[in-house]
């Protein structure tokens, strides 16, 4: 096996690399580093956890001149990935004068501007915040000669394609480009065709992380998931070497699980989209520093989260697509270590489980027999309904339907705006035209009730009720109701 020095990496960078515990390159690094050092455009297809970041960072650092201007730009889809790559760069440049900065939303803009004004060699940025700086003229990309698009498939999925093209239009056409992605959809290939010059394709099919991950699944009813999670966590959470990430489908589920597990005396915290950047960084920092050992996360943390100590991944909610599954389990078995991935599979997840099994060559082991859990699931069931609707989980998480009220339709309505012929015993509260109503309990807001004679209880707000023995106390000049406000245009009726 070749060494980093033999690949052409600067000695100062190799020295810092060895201090991090990495002495030998991974396969993707052996393939890509020489190409980048030669000035070739590169397209690298590799799943997470294979050493992909070092494959483009190491040759970039070796080629840049510390005395020059901004030369390198790395575009990433998420702030977490920007922070992680910048942290990696800072570890590797401790014996050189290269400087880098992460530019992302959620951080103080003026603070970023001050750092840019001092001068940096490498910028790691999310597309949106980078465009903000370009519009404010706090950064110029005219002298960029090295560009990396990391996790390009994710950036395109998040709708950054137009932002990326706008950024590329401000960079010299002589730039060297490296594009890295777990998948290669047509949109990425089209982008590469437009922007890259005879790129070299590197495809690492069998990744290190997948080979070292023990993947298994349990088929469970939704109502049994939490108790099974507790039973799974108890024996492993007491191990000092166990650091566990539990993935959920929604942020509400993440909050609920963290709350319940704390009540069961687990050391747990959660990270999700409702946290601001400072809160998310604080949570991840405490997890890295082993202040707690169970992290409940939504997919906001499934990419760009590089914590080498993660030993277990539990998919409390199996994701809705295969790619997200592999990105989730890639959070364990980092840098050649071993890891465990367990997925809880409900009835509606059988469809996506079949797809995962096909791609993973049936490497997922069924633990139901081992655990003595019996379920009556159909293997040809339809895909899960949309779990991201606003009321998902309010009446039993994961239910495919909701029971309708047994009250007849004519008695359920509360806003029948034209109910003149209604004979319902329980009429609408807001019948704006109810002059012929025979209801014993008329509407409180009958705006035209002059002919009403059957009511024993006259309206409180009869604005035209000259025959009423209870005249309105409101000023005669007021023609619009001052009571309950209704989002209905009465004039249109």
- CB-based contacts of 340: which residues, under 8 Å, 6+ apart? 213, 214, 216, 311, 312, 313, 332
**DSSP conformation letters of 7-20:** HT--HHHHHHHHHT
How many Å separate Cα 212 from the centre of its chain? 25
Q: Could you tell me the residue ranges of all domains in the chain?
A: 4-203, 209-371, 411-477
Q: Give the DSSP letter of residue 293.
A: S
**Per-residue confidence (pLDDT) for residue 471, from 0 to 100:** 47
**Residue ranges in 125-266 assigned as alpha helix (H):** 127-135, 152-157, 161-168, 186-195, 208-211, 225-237, 251-263
The encoded tokens of residue 21 equal 């515990």
- Angle, in degrees to the nearest 10, between helices 52-63 and 27-37: 30
What was the pLDDT predicted at 379? 65
Are 120 and 143 in contact by the 8 Å Cβ rule? The answer is no
Residue of 124, 52, 132 whose CA lies nearest to 83: 124
The DSSP 8-state label assigned to residue 477 in this structure reads T
Burial status of residue 452 (CB atoms within 10 A of its CB: 0-12, 13-18, 19 or more): buried
CATH number for the region 209-371 comes to 3.40.50.300
Give me the phi and psi of 379, to 5 degrees please: -75, -15
Question: For the chain, what is the largest distance between any 2 Cα atoms, rounded to a whole number of angstroms?
Answer: 103
Q: What angle do CA 299, 237, 308 make, to 5 degrees?
A: 55
Query: Residue 421 has what DSSP assignment?
Result: T
Which pLDDT belongs to residue 50? 63
Nearest-angstrom CA–CA distance, 55 and 43: 12
Beta bridge partners of 278: none
Q: For the chain of 493 residues, list the mean pLDDT of each consecutive stretch of 10.
A: 86 86 80 93 76 88 88 92 90 91 92 93 95 94 92 85 92 90 81 90 62 91 95 92 93 94 95 85 90 90 69 92 78 81 93 82 87 84 52 39 40 44 46 47 47 46 46 45 44 44
The H helix count followed by the E strand count for the chain is 18, 14
H or E element that contains 60: helix 52-63
Question: For residue 485, what pLDDT is reported?
Answer: 44
- Distance, in Å, from the CA atom of 17 to the CA atom of 14, rounded to the nearest integer, reads 5
pLDDT computed for residue 299 by the predictor: 80
* Distance from C-alpha of 102 to C-alpha of 235, rounded to nearest angstrom: 39
Crossing angle of helices 251-263 and 225-237, rounded to 10°: 60
**CA 197 to CA 175: how far, in whole Å?**
10
Q: For position 205, what pLDDT does the model report?
A: 55
Sequence-distant (≥ 6) Cβ neighbours of residue 473 within 8 angstroms: none
Q: Quick one: CA dihedral 386, 262, 213, 35, positive or negative? A: positive
Determine the CATH number of domain 4-203.
3.40.50.300
Considering just the CA atoms, what is the radius of gyration of the chain in Å?
Answer: 31
Tell me the CA distances in angstroms from 360 to 152, 180, 331, 341, one per residue in order: 22, 21, 17, 13
Does the predicted model carry a pTM greater than 0.85? no
Q: How far is CA 312 from CA 231, 273, 375, in A?
A: 15, 22, 25
> What is the sign of the dihedral through the CA atoms of 331, 333, 339 and 344?
positive
DSSP string, 446-466: -SS-TT--S-SS--S--SS-T
Of all helices (H) and strands (E), which one includes residue 27?
A: helix 27-37
Q: How far apart are CA 317 and CA 315, in angstroms?
A: 5
Would you state the torsion angle of the CA atoms of residues 343, 345, 348, 354, taken in this order, to the nearest 10 degrees?
Answer: 70
C-alpha atoms less than 13 angstroms from C-alpha of 90 in its C-beta half-sphere: 12
């Amino acid at each position: 096996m070749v060494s980093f020095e033999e690949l052409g990496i600067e000695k100062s960078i190799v020295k810092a690399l060895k201090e991090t515990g990495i002495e030998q390159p991974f396969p993707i690094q052996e393939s890509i580093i020489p190409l980048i050092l030669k000035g070739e455009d590169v397209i690298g297809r590799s799943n997470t956890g294979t050493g992909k970041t070092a494959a483009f960072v190491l040759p970039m650092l070796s080629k840049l001149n510390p005395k020059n201007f901004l030369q390198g730009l790395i575009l990433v889809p998420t702030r977490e990935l920007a922070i992680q790559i910048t942290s990696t760069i800072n570890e590797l440049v401790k014996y050189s004068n290269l400087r880098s900065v992460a530019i992302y939303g959620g951080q103080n803009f003026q603070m970023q501007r001050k750092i840019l004004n001092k001068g940096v060699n490498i910028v790691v940025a999310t597309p949106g915040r980078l465009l903000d700086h370009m519009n404010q003229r706090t950064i110029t990309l005219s002298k960029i000669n090295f560009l990396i698009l990391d996790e390009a498939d994710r950036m395109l999925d998040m709708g950054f394609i137009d932002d990326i093209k706008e950024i590329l239009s401000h960079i010299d056409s002589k730039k060297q480009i490296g594009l890295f992605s777990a998948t290669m959809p047509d949109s990425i290939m089209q982008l590469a065709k437009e922007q890259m010059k005879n790129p070299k394709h590197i495809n690492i099919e069998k990744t290190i992380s997948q080979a070292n991950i023990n993947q298994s699944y349990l088929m469970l009813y939704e109502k049994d998931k939490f108790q099974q999670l507790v039973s799974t966590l108890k024996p492993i959470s007491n191990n000092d070497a166990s650091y566990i990430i539990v993935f959920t489908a929604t942020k509400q589920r993440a909050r609920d699980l963290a709350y319940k597990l704390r009540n069961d005396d687990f050391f747990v915290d959660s990270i999700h989209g409702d946290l601001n950047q400072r809160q998310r960084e604080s949570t991840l920092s405490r997890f890295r520093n082993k202040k707690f050992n169970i992290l409940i996360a939504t997919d906001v943390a499934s990419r760009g989260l590089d914590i080498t100590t993660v030993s277990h991944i539990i998919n409390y909610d199996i994701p809705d697509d295969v790619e997200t599954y592999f990105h989730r389990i890639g959070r364990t078995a980092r840098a050649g270590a071993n890891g465990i991935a367990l997925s809880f599979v409900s009835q509606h997840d059988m469809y996506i489980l079949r797809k995962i099994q096909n791609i993973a060559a049936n490497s997922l082991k069924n633990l139901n027999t081992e655990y003595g859990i019996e379920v009556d699931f159909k293997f040809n069931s339809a895909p899960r309904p949309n779990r991201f609707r606003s009321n998902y989980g309010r009446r039993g998480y994961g239910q495919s339907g909701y029971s309708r009220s047994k009250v007849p339709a004519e008695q359920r309505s509360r806003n029948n705006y034209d109910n003149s012929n209604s004979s319902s015993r329980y009429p609408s509260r807001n019948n704006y035209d109810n002059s012929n109503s025979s209801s014993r309990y008329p509407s409180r807001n009958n705006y035209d009730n002059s002919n009403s004679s059957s009511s024993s209880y006259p309206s409180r707000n009869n604005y035209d009720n000259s025959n009423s023995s209870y005249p309105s106390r409101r000023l005669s000049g007021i023609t619009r109701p001052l009571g309950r406000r209704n989002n209905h245009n009465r004039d249109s009726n």
